[in-house]
């Protein structure tokens, strides 16, 4: 069994491009989120929070390795009925561009997903939620709205805020094979970095936490193969 990542910092360096922030690239029917939108979303989430004053956030992707808030406790957590998938398209700004658009990760219905939960301090929870919502909701309507889900932890179940894919959104990209997904991830780069970098950081942190995601593990190998093939100017094996 392979125990070391095939995808390496050398692969990431090959894909990386210094790209200035081009600003929002909006689909028809979308607009940039504004302060009033962020305030309204926070109010909505707090109003339906099942345990007011005890707020947890479930991270399955970049929040695992790059949380944007301080937290008072972290636990590994398992979400039943959800799985990680690169289904949020298309990204022409953050980790993709007009020539090589990116696919971002969300959780989609079905299966299970192991990640982490972070507990927010009650007295500063709203301020930290504001930072989180601004990071996750760049446009309206959002393609992966915040929702509360129950996850299992070693200390018992908790209800946590997460961001799940809305399959009715025009930004939902479903049905891609791992090979087709890897074709995208191996090329896409935006002003925040490459999709290869995002994938590498996520898999690396999950493995450090003792969480092995077979889907992401396969993807990182496929992406490494495609970057190697691009270096050599040959077609990668599926």
Q: Which residues are catalytic?
A: 136
Q: Residue 61 is part of a domain; what is its CATH number?
A: 3.10.490.10
How far apart, in whole angstroms, are the C-alpha atoms of residue 222 and residue 164? 25
Task: Write out the residue range of the structural domain in which residue 187 sits.
Answer: 9-230
With respect to residue 237, please indicate whether it lies within any of the assigned structural domains.
Answer: no
The overall average pLDDT reported for the chain is 93
26 vs 98: which has the higher pLDDT: 98
With respect to residue 109, please indicate whether it lies within any of the assigned structural domains.
Answer: yes
pTM as predicted: 0.92
Q: Give how many domains the chain has, as a whole number.
A: 1
How far apart, in whole angstroms, are the C-alpha atoms of residue 211 and residue 227? 25
With respect to residue 95, please indicate whether it lies within any of the assigned structural domains.
Answer: yes
Q: What is the pLDDT of residues 43-56, one digit of tens each?
A: 999 999 887 778 99
Expressed in percent and rounded to 5, the helix, strand and coil fractions of the chain are 35, 30, 40
CA-based torsion, 170, 176, 178, 179: positive or negative: negative
The helix/strand count (H/E) of the chain reads as 7, 9
With respect to residue 206, please indicate whether it lies within any of the assigned structural domains.
Answer: yes
CA-based torsion, 110, 114, 115, 120: positive or negative: positive
């Amino acid at each position: 069994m392979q125990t070391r990542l095939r995808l390496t910092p050398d692969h990431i360096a090959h894909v990386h491009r210094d790209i200035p922030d081009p600003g929002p690239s909006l689909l028809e029917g979308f607009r940039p989120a504004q302060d009033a939108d962020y305030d309204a979303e926070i109010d909505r989430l707090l109003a339906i929070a099942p345990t007011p004053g005890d707020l947890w956030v479930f991270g399955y992707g970049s929040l695992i390795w790059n949380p944007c808030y301080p937290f008072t406790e972290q636990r590994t957590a398992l979400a039943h009925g959800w799985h990680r998938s690169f289904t949020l398209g298309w990204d022409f700004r953050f980790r993709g561009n007009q020539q090589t658009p990116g696919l971002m990760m969300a959780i989609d219905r079905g299966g299970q997903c192991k990640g982490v939960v972070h507990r927010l301090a009650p007295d500063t929870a709203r301020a930290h939620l504001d930072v989180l919502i601004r990071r996750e909701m760049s446009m309206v309507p959002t393609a992966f709205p915040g929702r509360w889900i129950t996850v299992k932890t070693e200390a018992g179940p908790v209800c946590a805020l997460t961001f799940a894919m809305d399959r009715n959104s025009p930004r939902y990209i479903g049905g891609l094979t791992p090979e087709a997904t890897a074709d995208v991830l191996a090329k896409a780069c935006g002003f925040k970095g490459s999709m290869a970098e995002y994938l590498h950081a996520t898999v690396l942190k999950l493995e450090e936490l003792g969480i092995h995601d077979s889907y992401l593990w396969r993807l990182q190998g496929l992406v490494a193969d495609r970057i190697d093939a691009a270096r050599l100017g040959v077609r990668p094996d599926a």
